[in-house]
């Protein structure tokens, strides 16, 4: 197949046009020597004028005001997957056509990027595209600078690639000369191939390659500029040694610069003359790249077992602490070669590879320092297998749609990142590694499952799957850095296909007409920047460690829009990249969105159109909304956003924060919630009520319950679904755009049954700990269950069955214990409370979070206990802001401050307390209210209803003990004034 490039895609053409327009009308001097580029007059005022004009389309925050110095710097920001390589190649052709420039250097940070770029520039379909389709009629001659592999004694040869580049004549209008070099070769060393000057011959009188390259007066293109910061050695060589007249940086990410210290420290992106900004949000909004669907499994055990490195004895030994919840910590000291399975069987196959002065490296390639931890759950083989199974399920869902659901077919690829090479590559003994073995077994199972679901019309896809089933090993391949030095012929073929055989990977057929089933690729983050394939639809990050890397960089290998079997780019549909991670990165989608939205500078003004849109959404006219914003000093008469109130503006009106999530606005200038003041005068009025409801009471069950418990347990064991398999369920989040900002939409996950039995004694203990049912009663009930129902499958003595029984018991308790318990006052004195110190005096303030997560503007009534409107729900806000005549004082009860024991096993704390005066003024009534923002009692969950019923019994007992309190629940259809009126009527 041939990849078909598309000419004139707007998001790519704009970048090319912006660079070309920067030189429009600028004085350019013809070269003196045949090997020189024409010279751009950097002092021509027209150059700065052009840049200012082009930058009107760029956010003000990104416009560089730095003067043009010894060279012209131009920046182009394009998100991963939008075609940077194509754009800078197109730029080279355009600058040659318009201004005669034909000596270009492309600097890249890695060998992988260099290989991909070289392949693109040299490919015949690319040459034909620019020569014929774009009409340039010119050809690029690319020289790839490589490190010398063998140093020959005797004569010293000047690098031929440099020689050819320099000797290329600028008078040849049909040739453009490009020198492709990776970062490592640019770093100057005393004997570096570019910096030495002792070659036997030179070129055009130059014996030092860097001097020869400088003489060409080149234009340098930098790919991935975040790897070339201005203080980085390779960049300094470019500026100081090559001295180009122009540097054009193309990247999705740019380096950062920092100025100031402490509170005055400011970090900004190092943009200089940024002419085009195609950020991630725009790329998603315009459907220029795939969407992202993150998915993860929760851990099966959830025991939170961790292994912490406590100390490292230099190059000798490592001390670990094994921490298991509710158990004592164990210490292990291991040396090089020791297996981590000594600590826990989950680490089977992982050994200590090397010990440094302050770090330890494991056989799976992970390196840790003292103080760092390993999460046992991630290293469980069963957990990793389920991630593979989930990735395969998502792959085949997508593959079937791409193969059978259209008039054309799309070859669908999946990429697995692993951290243990030995788990995939066969060892010297020829033993099949556990990960490879598991993958091939799961792949076989999945293909057989998919085959069983195909209809009689899916004949071609059936043949493709049957070919896959016939040779499972042909379906997958791997590439790791150590493969570059491996002499194995089969591995070499895999590497060649993955690194350089993009078209082969995208093809359904081999040259002999047989099916090409290779579509599952394994790597150890070697395939990152520089490698991509448009048809990667699934990425599984097995055994990841929750890195702080750029989330966009991580998904970048799969963001490109796909191509069909004929090489056509498909841009008129929405596609999703499935991204599978472990539970330590459960917030991946949120962090990705934060990163995407965080790249967008906040607007400095709002448009009339936006004002109209938001006003309509808020049920106002645009004039009314304008007046409101103007009165609050958020905007001026020209709709400019006032800098000193912009944070409050975006917080109150998040619809105007285009492209940004509301959380991102808050993150930039987050203010810690201030403590809320307790009004002492109000507290003195409510003190008696507060102290009464803080009295400690104990809950006692009726004596006859013990006699019935064995029958109850047996009846619960016999309920359908109590004994069940362990099921792993994934959580799937889709990253989408609603046209203005990124958002997360939850989608259906996957479920798998896994083998995870637990010992019988552990089974009993866990139930007892959660229910307080004696172990003896449980055991006898289980024995009776077996007599009645037969032997229990040992696989079902597992954590899920524990959970199901506990759930059934809690439901039974909530529904059957009402009326079979009572409260009795404890002799324990009331100590310090949420509102008072141990001596009973009121506190000065309380943390806002104890009484409400949100703050409404304004000052509460003098009757209110606190000096701020802190609330959780709209109904609570109404209650706080309602000034009811009969109320003497009232207040929100701090969260979890009153400990009323309930039959659900937990404690209960109501929401509001009121002291109310009767109409006659003779007596004060105490009212405690539970606020629920639901329409009616039927909307309450069972446990919530049980807690409220317990509270009624508690306050009845409190009244019997001499302090009368009226307890009421408030649902959404009743106002507080109505409740108070009803109580007063009693």
Per-residue pLDDT tens digits for 456-505? 888 999 999 999 999 999 999 887 766 555 555 666 676 676 666 677 88
Contact 975, 875 (CB under 8 A): no
| The pLDDT of residue 518 | 93
Distance in angstroms (rounded) separating the CA atoms of residues 148 and 114: 16
Task: Please classify residue 369 by burial: count the beta carbons closer than 10 Å to its beta carbon, then call 0-12 exposed, 13-18 middle and 19+ buried.
Answer: exposed
| The pLDDT of residue 663 | 29
Distance in angstroms (rounded) separating the CA atoms of residues 894 and 606: 41
- Both tokens of 242, joined, read 């090559």
Which CA distances in Å does 171 have to 97, 132, 403, 857? 13, 22, 51, 72
| The pLDDT of residue 602 | 53
- Both tokens of 158, joined, read 């000047």
The phi-psi region of residue 114 (left if phi > 0; otherwise alpha if psi is between -120 and 50; otherwise beta) is alpha
Q: How many residues does the chain have?
A: 986
| The pLDDT of residue 161 | 94
Instruction: Parse the chain into domains and list their residue ranges.
Output: 32-147+161-278, 302-379, 381-585, 608-668, 678-697+826-985, 703-727+734-819
Q: Which CATH number fits domain 381-585: 3.40.50, 1.10.287, 3.50.50, 3.40.1130?
A: 3.40.50
User: Which regions of the chain are under pLDDT 50?
Assistant: 545-546, 659-671, 939
Task: Please classify residue 744 by burial: count the beta carbons closer than 10 Å to its beta carbon, then call 0-12 exposed, 13-18 middle and 19+ buried.
Answer: middle
Cβ neighbours around 746 below 10 Å, total: 10
Q: Which residues contact 660 (CB under 8 A, 6 or more apart)?
A: 597, 598, 600, 602, 650, 741
Distance in angstroms (rounded) separating the CA atoms of residues 463 and 475: 14
Contact 845, 678 (CB under 8 A): yes
| The pLDDT of residue 460 | 92
Contact 225, 113 (CB under 8 A): no
H helices of 653-704, in order, are 662-668, 680-693
H helices of 109-192, in order, are 111-122, 124-128, 160-167, 183-186
Task: Please classify residue 525 by burial: count the beta carbons closer than 10 Å to its beta carbon, then call 0-12 exposed, 13-18 middle and 19+ buried.
Answer: middle
Q: Do domains 32-147+161-278 and 381-585 have the same CATH topology?
A: yes
**DSSP-assigned letter for residue 2:** -
Tell me the CATH architecture of domain 32-147+161-278.
3-Layer(aba) Sandwich (3.40)
DSSP β-bridge partners for residue 257: 268
| The pLDDT of residue 391 | 93
| The pLDDT of residue 467 | 96
Angle between helices 799-816 and 942-960 (to 10 degrees): 40
Give the DSSP per-residue string, 413-474.
EEEEE-S-GGGTS--TT-PPPHHHHHHHHHHHHHHHHHHHH--TT-HHHHHHHHHHHHTGGG
| The pLDDT of residue 465 | 96
- Both tokens of 527, joined, read 């395939």
Contact 865, 925 (CB under 8 A): no
- Both tokens of 561, joined, read 């829009």
SS3 content of the chain, % helix, strand, coil (to 5): 40, 20, 40
State the DSSP H helix or E strand holding residue 394, giving kind and residue range, or none if neither: helix 381-404
Q: Which residues contact 521 (CB under 8 A, 6 or more apart)?
A: 413, 414, 415, 416, 476, 477, 478, 479, 498, 527
């Amino acid at each position: 197949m041939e990849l078909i490039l598309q000419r004139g895609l707007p998001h790519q053409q704009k970048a090319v046009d912006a660079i070309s327009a920067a030189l429009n009308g600028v004085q350019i001097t013809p070269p003196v020597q045949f090997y020189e580029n024409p010279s751009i007059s950097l002092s021509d005022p027209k150059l700065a004028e052009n840049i200012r004009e082009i930058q009107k389309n760029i956010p003000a925050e990104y416009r560089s005001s730095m003067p043009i110095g010894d060279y012209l710097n131009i920046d182009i920001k394009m998100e991963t997957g939008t075609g940077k390589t194509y754009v800078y190649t197109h730029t080279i052709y355009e600058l040659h056509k318009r201004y005669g420039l034909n000596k270009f250097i492309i600097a890249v940070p890695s060998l992988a990027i260099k290989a991909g770029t070289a392949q693109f520039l040299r490919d015949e379909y690319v040459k034909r595209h620019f020569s014929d389709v774009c009409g340039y009629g010119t050809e690029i001659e690319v020289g790839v600078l490589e490190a010398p592999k063998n140093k020959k004694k005797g004569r010293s040869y000047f690098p031929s690639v440099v020689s050819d580049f320099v000797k290329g004549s600028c008078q040849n209008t049909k040739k453009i000369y490009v020198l492709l070099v990776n970062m490592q070769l640019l770093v100057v060393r005393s004997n570096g191939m570019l910096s030495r000057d002792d070659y036997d011959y030179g070129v055009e009188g130059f014996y030092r390659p860097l001097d020869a390259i400088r003489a060409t007066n080149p234009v340098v293109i930098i790919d991935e500029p975040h790897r070339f910061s201005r203080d980085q050695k390779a960049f300094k060589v470019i500026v100081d040694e090559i001295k180009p007249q122009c540097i054009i940086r193309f990247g999705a990410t740019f380096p950062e610069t920092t100025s100031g210290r402490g509170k005055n420290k400011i970090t900004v992106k190092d943009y200089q003359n940024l002419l085009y900004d195609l950020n991630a949000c725009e790329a998603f909004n315009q459907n220029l790249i795939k969407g992202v669907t993150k998915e993860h499994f929760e851990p099966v055990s959830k025991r939170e077992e961790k292994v912490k490195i406590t100390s490292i004895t230099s190059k000798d030994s490592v001390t670990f602490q094994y921490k298991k919840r509710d158990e004592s910590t164990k210490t292990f000291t291991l040396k090089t070669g020791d297996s981590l399975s000594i600590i826990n069987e989950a680490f089977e196959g992982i050994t200590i590879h090397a010990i440094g002065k302050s770090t330890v490296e494991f056989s799976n390639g992970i390196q840790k320092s003292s103080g760092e931890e390993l999460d046992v759950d991630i290293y469980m083989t069963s957990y990793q297998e389920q991630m593979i199974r989930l990735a395969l399920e998502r792959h085949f869902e997508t593959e079937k749609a791409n193969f059978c659901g259209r008039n054309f077919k799309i070859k669908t690829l999946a990429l697995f990142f692993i951290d243990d090479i030995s788990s995939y590559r066969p060892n010297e003994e020829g033993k099949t590694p556990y990960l490879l073995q598991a993958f091939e077994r799961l792949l076989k199972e999945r293909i057989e499952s998919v085959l069983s679901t195909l209809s009689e019309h899916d004949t071609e896809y059936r043949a493709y799957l049957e070919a896959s089933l016939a040779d499972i090993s042909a379906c997958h391949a791997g590439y790791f850095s150590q493969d570059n030095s491996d002499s194995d012929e089969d591995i070499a073929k895999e590497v060649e296909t993955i690194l350089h055989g993009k078209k082969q990977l995208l093809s359904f057929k081999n040259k002999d007409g047989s099916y090409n089933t290779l579509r599952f690729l394994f790597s150890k983050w070697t395939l990152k920047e520089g490698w991509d394939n448009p048809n990667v639809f699934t990425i599984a990050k097995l055994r990841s460690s929750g890195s702080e890397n750029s989330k966009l960089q991580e998904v970048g290998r799969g963001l490109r829009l796909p191509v069909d079997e004929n090489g056509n780019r498909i841009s008129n549909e929405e596609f999703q990249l499935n991204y599978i991670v472990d539970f330590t990165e459960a917030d991946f989608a949120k962090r990705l969105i934060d990163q995407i939205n965080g790249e967008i500078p906040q607007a400095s003004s709002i448009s009339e159109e936006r004002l109209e849109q938001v006003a309509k959404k808020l049920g106002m006219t645009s004039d009314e909304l304008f007046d409101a914003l103007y009165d609050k000093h958020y905007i001026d008469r020209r709709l400019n956003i006032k800098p000193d109130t912009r944070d409050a503006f975006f917080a109150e009106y998040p619809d105007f924060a285009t492209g940004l999530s509301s959380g991102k606005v808050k993150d930039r200038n987050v203010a810690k919630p201030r403590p809320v003041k307790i009004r002492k005068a109000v507290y003195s009025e409510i003190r008696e009520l507060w102290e009464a409801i803080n009295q400690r009471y104990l809950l006692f069950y009726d004596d006859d319950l013990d006699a019935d418990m064995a029958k109850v347990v047996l009846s619960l064991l016999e309920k359908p679904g109590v004994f069940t398999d362990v099921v792993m369920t994934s959580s799937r989040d889709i990253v989408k755009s609603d046209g203005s900002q990124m958002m997360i939409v939850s989608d259906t996950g996957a479920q798998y049954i896994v083998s995870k039995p637990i010992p019988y004694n552990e089974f009993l203990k866990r139930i007892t700990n959660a229910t307080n049912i004696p172990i003896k009663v449980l055991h006898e009930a289980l024995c009776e269950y077996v007599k009645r129902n037969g032997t229990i499958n040992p696989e079902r003595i597992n954590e899920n069955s524990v959970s199901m029984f506990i759930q059934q018991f809690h439901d039974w308790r909530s529904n059957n214990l009402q009326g079979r318990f009572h409260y009795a006052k404890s002799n324990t004195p009331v100590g310090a409370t949420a509102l008072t110190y141990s001596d009973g005096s009121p506190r000065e303030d309380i943390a806002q979070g104890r009484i409400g997560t949100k703050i409404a503007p304004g000052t509460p009534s003098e009757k209110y206990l606190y000096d701020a409107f802190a609330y959780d729900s709209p109904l609570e806000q109404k209650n706080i802001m309602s000034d009811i005549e009969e109320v003497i004082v009232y207040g929100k009860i701090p969260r979890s401050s009153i400990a009323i024991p309930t039959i659900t096993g937990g404690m209960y704390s109501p929401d509001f307390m009121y002291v109310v005066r009767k109409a006659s003024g003779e007596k004060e009534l105490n009212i405690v209210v539970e606020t629920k923002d639901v329409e009616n009692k039927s909307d309450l969950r069972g446990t919530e209803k049980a807690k409220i019923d317990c509270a009624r019994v508690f306050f009845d007992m409190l009244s019997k003990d001499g302090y009368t309190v009226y307890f009421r629940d408030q649902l959404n259809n009743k106002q507080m004034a109505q409740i108070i009126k009803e109580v007063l009527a009693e």
